[in-house]
Amino acid sequence: MKRIIIIAISIGFSTAAMFAGIDKNEIINQAKKATATADSLYNAGNSKKAITVMENFLSYFYSLPEELQKSMQYIPAWRNFYLAQYHAGENNKDKSLDCFTKAMKLGLTNDKNAYLSARYDKKFDIIRNEPQFCEYYEIMDDKFSFRSILRRCGEYAPDSLNFYVKYASPDDSSLVKLRNRFNLDSVAGNGDELSKIKNLLHFVHELIRHDGSSEWEIKNPESTIEFVELCRQHNIGANCRKLAILLNECYLSMGIKSRYLTCMPKTYISDCHVINSVWSNQLGKWIWADPTYDAFIMDENDNLLSIAEVRERIRTKQPLKINDYANWNHKFPATKSQYIDFYMAKNLYFIETCTYYGADMETGNTHPNKYITLAPSGYETDSEVKFSDPSLIHCTTSDLRFWESPK
């Protein structure tokens, strides 16, 4: 026993002695220097020299004691990741995939930055459909995507909160003015209900451009009509909330029940988003409508979906489609990857409704209102997620109550 202990101690001392003359900080600095040089060469269009610089550094790294290598695996992991990008720049699919695979095996499946780069970096398009890439991407996606946050959150469940949502009549004098001012009967057209819903959505999308940073310093509009006229007069855009409120009132003025809903993330990341949930008598359910993007969402059979259905399909990785003309200000198309899988997957953790929807909401309307937030059971949030006035806010975990058909 003593001999074994002595041998173990000796090995420990010899390993320590072997590392004694090696400065880890120097290795890290060498890695950073090699990466900066290689990146500079790559960005200048010299992928081959970039590859040579990185391979020379890795040769140096792999000449170090094995135990030291094991303690610093993140260094070759990221350098292989960069090599995968450089080889992709040379259109060398095999070497790119080989380096990407090495990076993943060295631990980058646990790195969110690697996931984001693999997801969005177009350099990886050359290997994006390869089975090995897809296998490792799925591992990262299950850990870091917004879909994974929805998948891991609690289910909805009945609770004791009692509330219901009211909707103004289309005979409301302000809604009648709105309908007449913008000729909404003509805008909606003579088709079936779904065609009218789509036509009104497209009308609002075209009427005012989206501007998420717009500020109303000129004048606080006292009505929705005045709001639209100010936008036109001063060439002002509107944020998603104002656009959704406008669309909501257009629907209500035509006798179509609708809500504008604030969709929020679990952890606040740059913004939330406001869209509409429109009741279709023709389909007997709520359907998704987003005036910012002129967007509605469908299943694989082109059936229009509700917000609740879209959220569940994101969670369970079921097929989803977006209409082919959905766009942001006619500058960028709204794609499934960007709009559904990323942006709306982020913003469907909490969903907030008003308890009353009518004319001139958040302008001249003084109708008493409260806010109900639908949250998953055992929900969590951070301090940066800002709900509406806390004195007016209530949370429910009952999706059945929240999505009740309009009365």
**pLDDT tens-digit readout, 345-379:** 999 999 999 999 999 988 766 667 889 999 999 88
Q: Which of the four pLDDT bands, split at 50, 70 and 90, describes residue 221?
A: confident
Identify the pLDDT of residue 366.
65
Contact 221, 227 (CB under 8 A): yes
- Does one domain contain both 314 and 212? yes
Lowest mean pLDDT among 144-148, 157-161, 381-385: 381-385
pLDDT tens-digit profile of 237-285?
A: 999 999 999 999 999 999 999 999 999 998 877 789 999 999 999 999 9
Confirm whether 283 is domain-assigned. yes
Which of these three, 144, 178, 212, is where a domain ends?
144
Which pTM was predicted?
0.79
Q: Given CA atoms 300, 306, 309, 312 in this order, what sign does their dihedral have?
A: positive
Identify the pLDDT of residue 8.
33
Confirm whether 4 is domain-assigned. no
pLDDT for residue 121 is more than 60: yes
Phi-psi region of 328 (alpha: psi -120 to 50; beta: other; left: phi over 0): beta
pLDDT for residue 7 is more than 90: no
Q: Which of the four pLDDT bands, split at 50, 70 and 90, describes residue 220?
A: confident
Helix (H) or strand (E) holding 83: helix 74-89
- Does one domain contain both 126 and 206? no
Lowest mean pLDDT among 27-36, 260-269, 300-309: 260-269
> 6 or 323, which is more confident?
323
Nearest one of 348, 354, 334 to 402, comparing CA atoms: 354
As a whole number, the mean pLDDT across the chain is 89
- Does one domain contain both 173 and 305? yes
How many independent structural domains does the chain possess? 2
Identify the pLDDT of residue 215.
60
Domain encompassing residue 71? 22-144
Lowest mean pLDDT among 190-199, 246-255, 391-400: 391-400
Q: Which of the four pLDDT bands, split at 50, 70 and 90, describes residue 42?
A: very high
Confirm whether 190 is domain-assigned. yes
Q: Which of the four pLDDT bands, split at 50, 70 and 90, describes residue 340?
A: very high
Confirm whether 9 is domain-assigned. no
For residues 164-190, give the mean pLDDT. Answer: 96
For residues 43-69, give the mean pLDDT. Answer: 94
- Does one domain contain both 318 and 383? yes
Render 115-173 in DSSP notation, one character per residue: HHHHHH-GGGGGTTTSHHHHHHHHHHHHHHSHHHHHHHSPPP---S-----EE--TTSH
Identify the pLDDT of residue 383.
38
Confirm whether 13 is domain-assigned. no
Identify the pLDDT of residue 12.
36
Sheet strands (E) in 321-370? 321-322, 327-328, 332-333, 350-354, 356-357
- Does one domain contain both 52 and 116? yes
- Does one domain contain both 343 and 372? yes
- Does one domain contain both 114 and 175? no
Contact 194, 378 (CB under 8 A): no
> 175 or 3, which is more confident?
175
Alpha helix positions (H), 257-384: 307-316, 345-346
CATH code of the domain containing 85: 1.25.40.10
Identify the pLDDT of residue 320.
98
Backbone φ, ψ for residue 175 (5° rounding): -70, -35
Query: CB under 8 Å to 364, separation ≥6 — which residues?
Result: 221, 222, 223
Identify the pLDDT of residue 380.
67
pLDDT for residue 386 is more than 80: no
Confirm whether 12 is domain-assigned. no
Identify the pLDDT of residue 9.
29
Instruction: Give CA separation, 69 vs 10, 63, 98, 102, 339, in Å.
Output: 21, 9, 20, 14, 41
258: which strand partners?
Answer: 278
Which of these three, 144, 177, 210, is where a domain ends?
144
Confirm whether 6 is domain-assigned. no
Identify the pLDDT of residue 218.
52
Confirm whether 11 is domain-assigned. no
